Amino acid sequence: MLNLEYMWGLLPVLLSYLPLTLQMATIAMVFALILACLLAVVRVSRVPVLNGLSLLFISFFRGTPLLVQLFLFYYGLPQVISSLIAITGVTAAVLGLTLHFSAYMAESIRAAIVGIDRSQTEAALSIGMTQSQLMRRIILPQATRVATPTLMNYFIDMIKATSLAFTLGVTELMGATQKEAAGSFLYLEAFLLVALIYWVIVEMLSWGQRRLEIYLNKAYQR
């Protein structure tokens, strides 16, 4: 039988690590979004040289496992870049999550941009808008709407992926659970509880995602 009393007692302990988990995911999401937008715009506008570099970047970060990338940043790079010796597990995790997810997100943003019908681009140019005004005011707001469901999925994925930070010695939600479980030997209770916590957070986000989509779609109601 499950030791429910133990789980109940463990809940506040684990929840106290939740802020760190959410912080890592949120910061990584913000940077990943910015980077992904830049990559997508470079890809769409076919900026010479940068376009090639973006392709290489996207290919590498989609083509290798996140865990490998995290180890590379935390254990590997300090070997050649001495200033990285001081990199903390949290920083390495945020860096890894940012780069990894920006590669995926860049592709969905690019697809969303390409999907905006060409006549709006021409209309914006015809009234004298510059390329960057066109992007900021017409294309990106609409691409955001198209890409939002996918981007929210990546955010959800990212929250779960922060658990990998425990392999870099970070005591976040997963790391804390691991420690508690090792102390009490009640592995099933501890990991079941942490699974429930992740699940509830993801469900709450999905609810937010649906609300957001309704809001974003209000311009498109017939």
First-to-last alpha carbon distance for the chain, in angstroms, is 55
Given the complex with another protein, which of 80 and 219 has the nearer CB atom? 219
Which residues have C-beta within 8 Å of that of residue 24, sequence separation ≥ 6?
90, 93, 94, 97, 162, 165, 172
Q: What is d(CA 135, CA 169) in angstroms, rounded to the nearest whole number?
A: 41
Contact call for residue 45 and another protein (CB under 8 A): no
By CB under 8 A, which span of 5-13, 116-124, 176-184, 202-210 interacts with another protein? 116-124
Is 46 a binding residue for another protein by CB under 8 A? The answer is: no
CB-CB contact of 191 with 181 (8 Å): yes
Q: Which of 99, 124, 156, 190 binds another protein (CB under 8 A)?
A: 124
Is 139:9 a contact under the CB 8 Å cutoff? no
Please give the distance of CA 45 from its chain centroid, rounded to a whole number. Answer: 24
Nearer to another protein, 137 or 210 (CB): 137
Site for another protein in 126-145 (CB under 8 A): 126-130, 133, 137-138, 141-142, 145
Are residues 99 and 29 in contact, defined by beta-carbon separation less than 8 angstroms? no
- For another protein, which residue of 16, 64, 120, 206 counts as binding (CB under 8 A)? 120
Judged by CB under 8 A, the chain residues 193 through 222 that form the site for another protein are 218-222
Burial class (CB in 10 A: 0-12, 13-18, 19+), 101: buried
The piece of 107-115, 119-127, 149-157, 160-168 that touches another protein (CB under 8 A) is 119-127
Nearer to another protein, 87 or 125 (CB): 125
Residue in 199, 175, 173, 191 with CA at minimum distance from that of residue 7: 191
**Among all chains, which residue has been given the structure tokens 């900021």?**
136
Of the residues 79, 82, 83, 119, which one makes contact with another protein according to CB under 8 A: 119
Region 145-184 residues binding another protein, contact defined as CB under 8 A: 145
Q: Is 64 one of the binding residues for another protein (CB under 8 A)?
A: no
**Residues that bind another protein in the complex, under the rule CB under 8 A:** 119-120, 122-130, 133, 137-138, 141-142, 145, 218-222
